[in-house]
Amino acid sequence: MITTDFVPGSPCWLDLGAPDVPAAAAFYGGVLGWDYESMGEGEDMEGGMFRNDGKIVAGLGKLTEQGARSAWMIYYSVADADATTRAVEDAGGTVRVAPMDLDEWGRMAQYSDPLGGQFAVWQPGSNKGVEQVDTPGSLSWTELYTSDAAAAKQFYGSVFGWQFSDMPMPGGAGGTYTVITPAGLPEERMHGGLMQVSEADLALAHGRPYWHPVFAVTDCDTAVARVTASGGNVQMGPDDAEGVGRLAVCLDPSKADFVVLAPSAP
């Protein structure tokens, strides 16, 4: 499970790069009940925070990178962003944004894995990360779709020291699902997973791997109805996954992907 103790290698932050910030704020407000808090005014300051029940659950900013698709970026907590950058390069990854300080809040960097999957890290200062996880309306899981699961395990294991455990895909769908746990922690603290898919299934990212967030919801079908009513689309589901819950893979109006999951009762 994801927690807010943010041990090294665990997800601690996520933000969305959107071409239309007000439209994205309205969409996620309608789907997940989030409140949007702007951090400034004017075109150059278009961005802010999403809150759920008053607690920060994600960030939102203007998509400015030329040719980039709208997508969620997931950040993993690290003790030293510069050391992580060296580990990424040594493992064959690419530095997209070199380590940089964000005032007293912390230090961040963004990368691509060797096949092009994008992710980021956060070295905490005064800001440790999001304030709410693993409850309805907040991040409950992270997931990587990749065309080479073995290469992904080698790369991310080298960078973060993650522990991996393979299991059959839920529901007898065939294939293998790999569960990810931070270094040195028991499997109950698993925070994400990865699965191998065909390159054709990675069309959303033009054949490159991609990470997406899974948001907990109380009722998956209600969340899906809100997605479509708000101008989004459903790529898959809603489906029941034994031992996991009822889930659907969705796209917001700018085609940023995310999953809504109503977890099974413990």
Question: What amino acid is encoded at 79 in this protein?
Answer: A
Domain end (from 91, 124, 157): 124
Render pLDDT for 41-72 as a digit per residue (tens, 0 to 9). Answer: 654 457 899 999 999 999 999 988 778 899 99
- Are 161 and 95 in a shared domain? no
pLDDT, tens only, 198-229 = 888 899 888 999 999 999 999 999 999 999 99
pLDDT of residue 44: 46
Q: How far apart are CA 144 and CA 160, in angstroms?
A: 15
In a domain, 103, yes or no: yes
User: What is the count of structural domains for the chain?
Assistant: 2
Q: Does residue 143 form part of some domain?
A: yes
Alpha-carbon distance 126 to 17, whole Å?
A: 23
- The identity of residue 240, as a single letter, is D
CATH number of the domain residue 241 falls in:
3.10.180.10
182 found inside a domain? yes
| pTM assigned to the model | 0.95
Which residues of the chain, if any, have pLDDT below 70? 40-45, 170-174, 266
pLDDT on residue 215:
98
Would you say residue 133 lies in a domain? no
Q: Is residue 130 part of a domain?
A: no
Per-residue pLDDT, 147? 95
Q: Are residues 79 and 192 in the same domain?
A: no
The candidate with the shortest Cα–Cα distance to 72, out of 135, 138, 119, is 119
Domain residue limits at 169: 139-263
pLDDT at 1: 86
